[in-house]
Structure 1
Amino acid sequence: MSVSRKSVVSVGVAALAGMVSLGAGTASAADSALVNMSCIGLSPNVVDVPYSAQVIMSQYGLPPGVASFTVHTGASIWGGYGTTPTLTWTNTATGASGSVTGFSPMSSMFGSGSTVYFMNLPTGSGNVRIDLSVVNTGLIPVPPVNCSGNIDLA
């Protein structure tokens, strides 16, 4: 099955529109879900669209209490900078927690943004708080983008 660039961009635009209109909240247990959080900040490029990110959770084929997370960003007009997301999770019932960090170059508006995968994290079942802190490095230093949300996991 092939996915066209137009399909990827359309899905990204729809996800970004949904993300911008919603604040922090809680999602329910499902095999895959968007973590309800608003992640918008400055781009390190002088003139650019704001940096934006969304976190997608997946438990497809995983045992209960284990989840994978994808941090996906919108594209930059110019690209040319790096994005370093740190995802911290805390199970609100058990107190179990962990943190993972990744890196991806940011593509220009002709690309599809950047994607960082965090696979098979032992979050435990129940309500899990997701904290995302993103450091973007480029032309101008900018403050980190920080956002949080909760999701219910099987």
Structure 2
Amino acid sequence: MIRRSMARRMITGLVGACAVAAATIGAGHAAADEVVVGQVGMQCFSLNPNIIDLPSNAGVTVQRRQGENTFTLWGDSKSFFLYTSDTRVVVTQLSNGATHTYYAHSYHTLGDNSGYRIDDIPGRGKVKITINAVNHGLLTLRAPECSGVTDLQ
């Protein structure tokens, strides 16, 4: 009995120590993965170039990882029928006026891998994002210009 009791205590202590270690490691990992997320132009809809389909949405989601001075943005408009977009994204850092322009060609479907993603955009704080697109489907249609400011502190 004494040996079993001692073995149980050792196992309980080992399990407790592992739980504390896992919680500590998990907390450190979570802090490193904190992100700042913003959305721009999400209410900017236009006619889908396939006419009888879901409206085209020019909005983007913006994400910056804690401590980094770059961010990522992505946009996707879902569609029952395939169409493509030629998109120009202008990013202006409001604190210093620095402007960067990016171009993306993307495909829109109902799938998860449609749309575009632009990584490693320099900037932090208040950022103005302006989106222009030409959509190609049954018709070729210029989407309205959409813009907005997000704060990536």
Measured against the shorter chain, the TM-score band is 0.5 to 0.7
| CA distance in 2: counterparts of 1:143 and 1:100, whole angstroms | 17
Q: Secondary structure at the match of 1:135?
A: strand
Counterpart contact for 2:106–2:115, Cα < 8 Å: yes
Q: Does 1:69 align with 2:73?
A: yes
Runs of 4+ that moved beyond 6 A: none
Letter in 2 for 1:89: V
User: Any residues of structure 2 matched to 1:1-154 within 5 Å, and which?
Assistant: 31-37=35-41, 38-60=43-65, 63-64=68-69, 66-73=70-77, 75-79=78-82, 81-107=83-109, 109=110, 111-112=111-112, 114-123=114-123, 125-154=124-153
| CA distance in 1: counterparts of 2:94 and 2:66, whole angstroms | 24
| TM-score computed with the length of structure 2 as normaliser | 0.68
Tell me which moved more, 49-58 or 126-135. Answer: 49-58
- Larger Rg: 1 or 2? 2
CA 1:34–1:153 in 2, change beyond 3 Å: closer, same or farther?
A: closer
Cα shift at 1:113: 7.4
Q: CA-atom RMSD, angstroms?
A: 2.1
Q: Which runs of 5+ in 1 are unaligned?
A: 1-29
Q: Secondary structure at the match of 2:96?
A: coil
Cα shift at 1:101: 0.9
Letter in 2 for 1:102: A
| CA distance in 1: counterparts of 2:49 and 2:114, whole angstroms | 15
Letter in 2 for 1:72: D
Q: Which runs of 5+ in 2 are unaligned?
A: 1-33
CA 1:32–1:126 in 2, change beyond 3 Å: closer, same or farther?
A: closer
RCO greater where, 1 or 2, for CA within 8 Å and sep 6 or more?
1
Percent of aligned pairs with the same amino acid: 24
| TM-score computed with the length of structure 1 as normaliser | 0.67
CA 1:134–1:68 in 2, change beyond 3 Å: closer, same or farther?
A: same
Counterpart contact for 2:134–2:140, Cα < 8 Å: no
Q: Secondary structure at the match of 1:63?
A: coil
Count of aligned pairs between the two proteins: 119
